[in-house]
Structure 1
Amino acid sequence: MKYKSTRGQVAGIGFIDAVLMGLADDGGLLIPESIPQVDADTLTKWRELTYPELALEVLSLFIGDEIPRDELAELIQASYTTFRDPEVTPVKRLSPERAVLELFHGPTFAFKDVALQFLGQLYAYISQKTGSVIHILGATSGDTGASAIEGVRGKEGIRICILHPAGKVSRVQELQMTTVSDANVQNLAVEGTFDDCQRIIKELFADVSFKKEYHLRAINSINIARLLAQTVYYFYAALKLAKDGESRLPNFSVPTGNFGDIFAGYLARRMGLPIGRLILATNENNILERFVHEGIYEPGEFRSTYSPSMDIQVASNFERYLYYQNGEDAAKTAAQMAELSKSGRIVVASDVREAVQADFAAYGVKNAECLEAIRVCHADTGYLLDPHTACGVAAGGRIAASGELTVTLATAHPAKFDESIQLVNIRQTFPAPIAALFEKPQHATRVEGSADAVKDELLRFF
């Protein structure tokens, strides 16, 4: 399998080089040169596999023989032995028509662990095999940072710097990042929003000479390895439901701000996984909902919500989807992204908008609806949703027809967002690892929201 850029100036690179490049050198995003196909007989056989076994089969399609199969199996096994549930991503039924796919059983209680435990192992493997130093640079709206740090903390040959928007992540998210004392970890609290953090990351990676001199590597969902790892749990959930006798094709309702998690579902469907609708659940930062409904992609005014990890106006994975909607026309995609940079918006033709609506349904959940979903679900089933998962449940309830089965991706443990849970007068008991965070000292440096300020801190760290 080879990889290419959505903007057409990078092509024919292998999986490991694609992982190391992160953002393509032409400013685009890397994608496989072709999407592997999985037939019905293979899917039936895969129903019997454990999660690590299934991950090996799916990821092998994208990696080929670049990593020997036995070594890849060891990487995957090491990635998921850290999870608290033996199924890794179990499916829990709430009613005959509703289920949640629990993605929060990793070490930081968030769905990002599923991909970032694998990516951390992968970076360590590459560093060991090549004898190279890897400097990981990432931005987080809350969960990515802790998951990325947990994946590589203390690993030889790797340093990691994470940017987060100062004061705009939950208390637990902040503590999970900033209480890590390993010498290879740096936390920068950026004055601004997550979009500012993400902009700084893209500016630094676009500086190709700086990127290459300091061996910068990406941990955000611009890194293709993260998306590939996330496709696995769509396969796992759909195949488990089928194995358990479910005849309906499941819808997946996906809380998303950066478009990565739902793009992984889109990719799984393109590979041949039979699923129902992909429901794009946003909050009041609803740029993606507007794009699905109106065909206009235009960042708007930032709004703070009860689901802060989705408080994003610029979805970094949107370009990958746009490329496929353009019929894999890299020149057209590059022109649209240039127009977005110049005018601040992209408008697609009506036929493209109709194609988008065939791929996705979308609903932007208001703050009050988010809290009501938490309250009602807890009252009716005893199951406690975090506010992001609540957005997914609320959107699924709005869009799914009667009789359909909708699986909401449960993206975080509710203990990570107790500020929101308390608003509906629910008291929860924190898991021991989270409760212990409040007694630990913090390590973070506050910086202004500019690439130059972040670069200065990086040079001191490296």
Structure 2
Amino acid sequence: MKYESTRGNFEKVTSSEAIQLGMVPKGGLFVPERVPEFSEKEIREMEGEKYREIAHRVLRKFLTNFSGETLGKTIDSSYRENFEAEEVVPTVKLEEGVHLIELWHGPTAAFKDVPLQFMPRLLSRAIERETVVLVATSGDTGKAALEGFKDVKGTRIIVFYPKESVSRMQELQMTTTGGSNTAVVALEGDFDDCQNGVKDVFADWEFQSEFPQRFSSANSINWGRLAPQIVYWITSYLQLSAKGELEVEEEVDIVVPTGNFGDILSAYYARRMGLPVNKLVCASNENRVLADFFRTGTYDANRELKRTSSPAMDILISSNLERFLYHETGRDPERISSWYESLDKDGRFTVDGKTKERMDRVIHGEYATEDETLETISRIYEDHGYPLDPHTAVGVKCFEKYGERVERGKTALIASTANPHKFAPAVMKALSDREWEGREFEALDELKEKTGWPIHRSLRNLKEAEIRHDYTCPRDGIRDIIRKILRN
């Protein structure tokens, strides 16, 4: 399996080369030259298998220049002991026909743990020289990447997060991380500034040549981050089938709260591989750039970024959308290049009518306001005794709105992307109608007391943990801080 650039500006590379590079050095993202498929029989044969076994079946189709033994050892070490749930990603029935996929049973209480326990181990087996992993995070990716790469031989990791725009819990999880190869930087800007700054570094070969190390990414722009996420859509479908919640070959709707479009893109790839999926519902918060795009065909980032209770979705430039559009244009790099030149220059682009029609057959976009998000947390807990985190609440509300627009008859899988304790102030605000901002640890204890849910292991002793990272930099200071960190 080779990987090609979405903009047609780079030679095809192997899977290990795509993972080491992270993104196309000249701009664009790597995508597989073809999407492998499972037959209905092959999908059914996986029913009853363990997560690690299904992961091996899926990933060996994409990561073809890694040996079966290497993949098996990497998968085994990633998922055997690092997740509290035996299934890795258990499904929970919320009501008839509606199921949550709990993606947060890993080390840092967020869905990013699933790929980021796997990717660092795989990268360490592929690298030929020390690799510097640069990460832009809106909150959850940072800690998951730090935990995954911490003390991994042959790597150093630098995480950039938007100062004062992540939750206090997220910030403390990152800044208290140990490891001899980790660094965390608060950037004076928003997530898009972090993401654009990191992308600029990847495109700056002259800057990279200052260092003996190779640069790579742990964001979902890296195919090694995205591929492992395909696995959990297939395993979740098979869990429901094994429980008798689905008829044979029954189609489902998949609902994903997303900002950078990576998680829902992995569901898109699962669909293309043969998983019986009807529609993907792209759920946005008040930063509704994706919801607007799927309704109108115009991607317009010329708007104010709003800070919400679901900060991992406070994003205006959704990097992985480029991969989706590449497939939906029939792999047309010229159109992709033209659209993204317009996005860079004017902050917007509009797709052609044929592409819009193809998009409509696959994805439906919705968004939830802040008031709707908090109301959903309160109502679902009152009705079902289940505490949603704000991101998952956005997904649930958008699913409800989707059902109001179409005649629903499909079983729904909704991605539950974070443990509610990770966003305790927002959850407790919804459940108590009181403000908890600045009282994060009180909210954590109160949420445990109210729901009976134990505090996730990554948060239990966070209050007493030592702050190990205190780097800050201005918007235009990413190169200078990288020099400072790597030359220390």
- Say whether the fold is shared (TM-score over 0.5): yes
- Is the CA contact 2:187–2:194 (under 8 Å) kept in the aligned structure 1? yes
Moved more, 331-340 or 303-312: 331-340
Cα distance in 1 for residues equivalent to 2:16 and 2:402: 40
- Is the CA contact 2:377–2:431 (under 8 Å) kept in the aligned structure 1? no
Cα distance in 2 for residues equivalent to 1:241 and 1:382: 21
- Whether 1:446 aligns to 2:472 is yes
Question: What amino acid is the match of 2:336?
Answer: T
Moved more, 5-14 or 284-293: 5-14
> Superposition pairs for residues 320-331 of structure 1, below 5 Å?
320-331=323-334
- Whether 1:286 aligns to 2:288 is yes
1:460 alignment partner in structure 2: 484
Question: What amino acid is the match of 1:39?
Answer: S
Cα distance in 1 for residues equivalent to 2:196 and 2:316: 11
Cα distance in 1 for residues equivalent to 2:229 and 2:208: 26
- Is the CA contact 2:294–2:359 (under 8 Å) kept in the aligned structure 1? yes
Question: What amino acid is the match of 1:444?
Answer: D
> Superposition pairs for residues 242-391 of structure 1, below 5 Å?
242-245=241-244, 246-247=246-247, 248-299=250-301, 300-391=303-394
The sequence identity of aligned pairs, in percent, is 37
Cα distance in 2 for residues equivalent to 1:352 and 1:13: 27
Cα distance in 2 for residues equivalent to 1:207 and 1:424: 45
Task: Give the deviation of 1:121 after TM superposition.
Answer: 0.9
Task: Give the deviation of 1:346 after TM superposition.
Answer: 0.7
Task: Give the deviation of 1:311 after TM superposition.
Answer: 0.4
1:170 equivalent among 145, 162, 167 = 167
2:451 alignment partner in structure 1: none
- Is the CA contact 2:419–2:456 (under 8 Å) kept in the aligned structure 1? no
- Whether 1:437 aligns to 2:462 is yes
Cα distance in 2 for residues equivalent to 1:420 and 1:104: 18
Task: Give the deviation of 1:461 after TM superposition.
Answer: 1.5
Cα distance in 2 for residues equivalent to 1:241 and 1:153: 35
2:447 equivalent among 428, 431, 438 = 428
Task: Give the deviation of 1:364 after TM superposition.
Answer: 0.8
1:405 alignment partner in structure 2: 411
Task: Give the deviation of 1:425 after TM superposition.
Answer: 3.2
SS in 1 for 2:459: helix
2:423 alignment partner in structure 1: 417
| Counterparts in 2 of 1:83 and 1:9: CA distance versus 1, 3 Å | same
2:146 alignment partner in structure 1: 149
Question: What amino acid is the match of 1:217?
Answer: S
1:161 equivalent among 155, 158, 163 = 158
1:221 alignment partner in structure 2: 220
Question: What amino acid is the match of 2:370?
Answer: N
Cα distance in 1 for residues equivalent to 2:3 and 2:409: 40
- Is the CA contact 1:137–1:161 (under 8 Å) kept in the aligned structure 2? yes
Question: What amino acid is the match of 1:95?
Answer: E
TM-score, L = length of structure 1: 0.96
Cα distance in 2 for residues equivalent to 1:257 and 1:284: 11
1:118 alignment partner in structure 2: 118
Question: What amino acid is the match of 1:457?
Answer: I
SS in 1 for 2:224: helix
Cα distance in 2 for residues equivalent to 1:383 and 1:238: 21
- Is the CA contact 2:102–2:416 (under 8 Å) kept in the aligned structure 1? yes
Residues 200-253 of structure 1 show CA distances to partners (whole Å, capped at 9, x for unaligned) of 011111102333544111110100111111111111111221222212422111
- Is the CA contact 2:258–2:313 (under 8 Å) kept in the aligned structure 1? yes
For structure 2, the 5+ residue unaligned runs are 433-445, 449-454
Question: What amino acid is the match of 1:215?
Answer: R
